[in-house]
Amino acid sequence: MIQNLFKSLHLFASSIAITLMLCGVTYVFKYTQNLEAYKYIQLYKTVQIDITALKRSKYDKELHKKLKSLKTKFTDRTTKNALSNFIQAYSSNNERLFKKRKTELHELLTANHKQLEGAIHKNSSVMLYIFGLGLALSLLALIVHHFFIQKNILQPIQKLTERIESFINGQYKFQFSQPKNNEIGRLESSFNSMADKVTNTIEDLKELDQAKTEFLNIVSHELRTPMTSIKGSLGLMASGNFGQLPDKVENLLHIAEEETNRLIRMTNDFLDLAKIEAKSQMINKEWILIDEVISKCVQALSALLQKAKVEVVWEESPEIEIFADTDRIQQVLTNLLGNAIKFSPVDSKIDIKAQSLQTELEIQIIDKGPGITSEDQEKIFEKFRQATGPTKPLVKGTGLGLFIAKALVEGHGGTIGIRSEVGVGSCFYFRLPDYREKQLSPMVEVAA
């Protein structure tokens, strides 16, 4: 239909063009006529001047010749005849006839003169009107054309563009009502179909996500229930409350206990991994004191610390707060600190530092363990990577701790890394971009 619109517009424009051309042609034609008229007027004037001055008494042969030649220039008979008569009378001896013919000619020429002037005047008026008409028509055509394009093309395109932009910003539900049967209408229909599809896909994804979460919850419960029983049984047997066991049996029990704990850790890690990859958990960020996070973490690992005979030392930074999800950052710290404890030699100290780096806060966990080769440093944050060195960790891990920590830190817009030297120790650090020093007055603080 827009094609038809264009066709009709073309027709309209063409007719305007033709009208203008006709106006132009008429204009030129009239102008030419006027030119002709002016020429004749000149002629009449010339003759009039000549004959006025003429007196039969003074016969001028030259003038006679001139008049004869002038005669040929006139096309209308009346004037020609009058001039012929006059020339005849001039060369005759009849004074009275001469005077008569002279007056006749003079009057005729004057009449012609006046007539031509009138025609010229009329022509000029016509030309002016035609010019005005042409101008008005062009203006009208321009205005109509403008409105047509505005309403049928520009406006719909603008509306469509606006809708697409809000679509990009998340407004998927809008539908154009009753798209017309033209090119714009087809665009609108397509948009409707696309919006439909996107909305459906989103709904499907949400459902899928929910299903995943449910699955995770079920698996978690189902795996943990028997593990509870096994751990419980083993623990009771090992507790000695039911009698002293032979050494070999005790050893076997310990092995079973260790491996059960490992299974439990693995399950936790896998579930964490699945959660991260499902992206179904929302990150709940809030302003939390870094000191609180560190102290909770150290407390949680106190049993492991005791077993390893390692101490944690950290400088308090009571003013520093980070904008982060408590559980997740806690987990990052737990994973890193846990690693440090596992690899630290007996009676050594682990340092935890929080250092401000202008745009970021760097939290470091420094241990005096065996260190990590630069080769391994590149790979340790990958999935299922474990220490390859000769030193065995205190407790076997799953190889997921660092990978999970990395994912969690990056989920907060931060970075994680390691600085280590073999034989000296390792410094695991992570940086978070959203932090502040609490000294600022509440009104100045802006939530990140």
Partner 1 sequence: MKMKILLAEDDNSISKIMSLTLETMGQHEVTVAENGQLALNFALDTEFDLILLDQMMPEIDGLGVCAELQKKGEFATPIIFMSAKSQDSLDISATGAVGYIEKPFDPQSICQRIDEILISKEEEAS
Footprint of partner 1 on this chain (CB under 8 A)? 216-217, 220-221, 224-229, 231-233, 235-236, 239, 241-242, 264, 271, 281, 327
The answer to whether 274 touches 214, Cβ cutoff 8 Å, is no
The answer to whether 344 touches 350, Cβ cutoff 8 Å, is yes
CB of 386 to partner 1, least distance (A): 23
CB of 187 to partner 1, least distance (A): 46
CB of 263 to partner 1, least distance (A): 9
Q: Which residue's CB is nearer to partner 1, number 25 or number 218?
A: 218
Q: How many CA atoms lie within 13 A of 326 on its CB side?
A: 10
Q: Which residue's CB is nearer to partner 1, number 126 or number 266?
A: 266
CB of 235 to partner 1, least distance (A): 4
Rg of the chain over CA atoms, in angstroms?
54
Closest CA to 63 of 81, 77, 37, 83: 83
CB of 295 to partner 1, least distance (A): 16
Q: Which residue's CB is nearer to partner 1, number 192 or number 281?
A: 281
CB of 315 to partner 1, least distance (A): 28
Helix (H) or strand (E) segment spanning residue 435: strand 435-437
* Residue the block writes with tokens 């005790």: 250
Q: Which residue's CB is nearer to partner 1, number 412 or number 436?
A: 412
Burial string for 315-326 (b: 16+ CB within 10 Å, else e) reads eebeebbbbbbe
> What DSSP state is assigned to residue 421?
E
CB of 167 to partner 1, least distance (A): 34
- Secondary structure of 264-319 as H, E, C letters: HHHHHHHHHHHHHHHCCCCCCCEEEEHHHHHHHHHHHCHHHHHHHCCEEEECCCCC
**349-357 and 311-314 as β-strands: parallel, antiparallel, unpaired?**
parallel
Q: Which residue's CB is nearer to partner 1, number 118 or number 232?
A: 232
Q: Which residue's CB is nearer to partner 1, number 100 or number 224?
A: 224
> What DSSP state is assigned to residue 345?
P
Helices (H), ranges, 92-181: 95-149, 155-168
Q: Which residue's CB is nearer to partner 1, number 230 or number 448?
A: 230
Number of Cβ atoms within 10 Å of the Cβ of 177: 7
- Tell me the angle at which helices 401-411 and 326-343 cross, rounded to the nearest 10 degrees: 150
CB of 247 to partner 1, least distance (A): 20
Q: Which residue's CB is nearer to partner 1, number 17 or number 211?
A: 211
